[in-house]
Amino acid sequence: MTPPRKLHIKSYGCQMNVYDAQRMVDTLGAEGFVETAEAGDADLVILNTCHIREKASEKVYSELGRLRVAKEEAARQGRAMQIAVAGCVAQAEGAEIVTRAPTVDVVVGPQSYHHLPELLARAGRGEPAIETEFPAEDKFGFLARPSREAIRARGVSAFVTVQEGCDKFCTFCVVPYTRGSEMSRPVARILDEVTRLTENGVREITLIGQNVNAYHGEAPDGSTWTLGRLLYGIAEIPGVARIRYSTSHPNDVDDSLIAAHRDLASVMPFVHLPVQSGSDRILGLMNRKHGASDYRKVVDRFRAARPDIAFSSDFIVGFPGETEEDFRATLALIAQIGYAAAYSFKYSPRPGTPAADMQEMVSATEMDERLERLQSLIDSQQAAFNKAAIGTVVDVLFERAARKPGQLVGRTAYLQPAHVMAPDNIIGQVLPVRIDSLERYSLLGELVATAAPVAGAATPLVFIGG
Ligand code: 5AD
Ligand code: SF4
């Protein structure tokens, strides 16, 4: 019997890359590959890349420099190492990658992962193996399902892609070009996947998509389900304790999504709702197709349905033409909304996007200064939000052992990490925890005495807030 070939995969960027990496591992597992944590002893190394900002993109080339050395070392030991570049840089740059880094054997865009075995075989024969097409077939129908062991090894929280691509064309963003136009997976496939995950210990499902709330999937009866409708369907699957979804666009928040937050205890009251800027002028230049007050109204609708809901967002500072006044409008919006967390980025021009041709660049010093001011406002909001948990009892989904012996780490409804001294047979359960203190971003607390948890017992249902 030939020994299994070793696969090392490194993902950059978003949650969808994490999900895609798992699908690639599952698909190549069926071809006899096993995962290794070490790139140096792998027979195949896949870099699953991100193109969203220049910094993310450039990481690929420094990593490829290191891999070239590892590949030469493997060759000296008489081993062949193949190197594949996947993800959004692969999609955007295609054959250029091989020109710039001839050590690369395979370039594969996100829509072609199901062709990986064939591309590797082609590369093995010394033939070109570059694929950046958007094939007509749905790759998810061809990618292998994870084994039961793989699901268990990946823990109690899992991503499920429900939607891919984006038709919004924000002027700064490469996603519509790298992930293509919006497509939704059929409902039955998603429900099957969630059922299989929960049958194997998964308790939290995060539905992912670049524009997840634009979801419009075909249901078995021929009707079209929105994301809200899908949440009701998933909530009915036994074992689903928590449901999340990411990333949403404010314009696609419909009443079914709001109703799902109102009606379903398992839909977590924490929504990632990027706004990017608080200035109507900049939002216009960004082609976001909404203003700051439209965004505030969306937030209000969520809050009316679910008063304990919290939000996170993405912000870009230094978009071309952004003045101090525009930036202050962003700070004002942040102050009005009050976020539990947020990601913020300096604008990075991306080749091929409309904003890359805009002339009025904001200086690097101004960008740095604005980023710092924005982050300090967000940090203070986040600190206040976390501090408010002290002295309260919150539900925690226990995920894994923490570094400290005897301690477990889990997450609250708002994704705050919570560290608790507790027996590890409660991993996978949602239990109430009294929060005593805060250590940086992590909550420290104690299990609230209830009936002693029994290994393998059904997880209690979670009902949080109103
Ligand atoms: N420059 C800076 N940030 C960007 N993002 C997307 N494109 C760019 C860019 N060109 C940010 C947005 C988006 C997040 C995923 O990345 O805030 O919501
Ligand atoms: Fe990019 Fe999001 Fe805009 Fe789509 S909605 S173009 S993914 S920023």
- Token digits of residue 354: 């409309």
Q: Where are the domains of the chain?
A: 5-131, 145-265, 269-387, 393-447
Closest CA to 281 of 334, 235, 324, 341: 324
As a whole-number percent, the residues of the chain with pLDDT over 70 amount to: 96
Residue 264 assigned to a binding site: no
Q: Specify the ligand 1 atom closest to the Cα of 172.
A: 10
Cβ neighbors of 224 (< 8 A, separation 6 or more) are 216, 217, 218
Give me the CATH code for the 393-447 domain, please.
2.40.50.140
What is the per-residue pLDDT for 138? 78
Residue 456: is its pLDDT beyond 70? no
Measured from the alpha carbon of residue 355, the closest ligand is 1
- Token digits of residue 61: 């080339």
CB 447 within 8 A of CB 422: yes
Residue 239: is its pLDDT beyond 70? yes
Residue 14 assigned to a binding site: yes
Residue 166 assigned to a binding site: yes
CB 141 within 8 A of CB 183: no
For the domain made up of 145-265, give the CATH fold.
Transcription Regulator spoIIAA (3.30.750)
Whether 166 lines ligand 2, by a CB cut-off of 6 Å, is yes
pLDDT category at 459 given cuts 50, 70, 90 is very low
pLDDT category at 57 given cuts 50, 70, 90 is confident
Cβ neighbors of 350 (< 8 A, separation 6 or more) are 51, 52, 53, 54, 172, 173, 174, 356
What is the per-residue pLDDT for 11? 96
Residue 157 assigned to a binding site: no
Query: How far apart are the CA of 207 and the centre of ligand 2, in A?
Result: 17
Q: What is the pTM of this model?
A: 0.93
Whether 289 lines ligand 2, by a CB cut-off of 6 Å, is no
Q: What is the tens place of the pLDDT at every residue in 60-91? A: 999 999 999 999 999 999 999 999 999 999 99
Residue 224: is its pLDDT beyond 50? yes
What is the per-residue pLDDT for 12? 96
CB 179 within 8 A of CB 161: no
Q: What is the tens place of the pLDDT at every residue in 262-313? A: 999 999 999 999 999 999 999 999 999 999 999 999 999 999 999 999 999 9
What is the per-residue pLDDT for 3? 80
Computed over every residue of the chain, the mean pLDDT equals 94
- Pocket test of ligand 2: the residue of 50, 210, 348, 353 to mutate, having most ligand atoms within 8 Å of its CB, is 210
**Does CATH place domain 5-131 in 3.40.50.12160?**
yes
- Token digits of residue 336: 């009005």
What is the per-residue pLDDT for 1? 60
Residue 313 assigned to a binding site: no
Q: What is the tens place of the pLDDT at every residue in 410-422? A: 999 999 999 999 9
**Mean pLDDT, residues 337-347:** 98
What is the per-residue pLDDT for 451? 52
Whether 177 lines ligand 1, by a CB cut-off of 6 Å, is no
Residue 464: is its pLDDT beyond 60? no
Whether 343 lines ligand 2, by a CB cut-off of 6 Å, is no
pLDDT category at 384 given cuts 50, 70, 90 is very high
Same fold, 145-265 and 393-447: no
CA distance 14 to 315: 16
Closest CA to 330 of 362, 364, 291: 291
Q: What is the DSSP letter of 252?
A: G
Query: How far apart are the CA of 53 and the centre of ligand 1, in A?
Result: 7
CB 110 within 8 A of CB 178: yes
Whether 276 lines ligand 1, by a CB cut-off of 6 Å, is yes
Strand ranges for 295-357 from DSSP E = 310-317, 341-346
Cβ neighbors of 455 (< 8 A, separation 6 or more) are 425
The residue to which tokens 């200035």 are assigned: 279
Residue 326: is its pLDDT beyond 80? yes
**Mean pLDDT, residues 168-175:** 97
The residue whose CA is least distant from atom 5 of ligand 2 is 168
Architecture of the domain spanning 269-387: 2-Layer Sandwich (3.30)
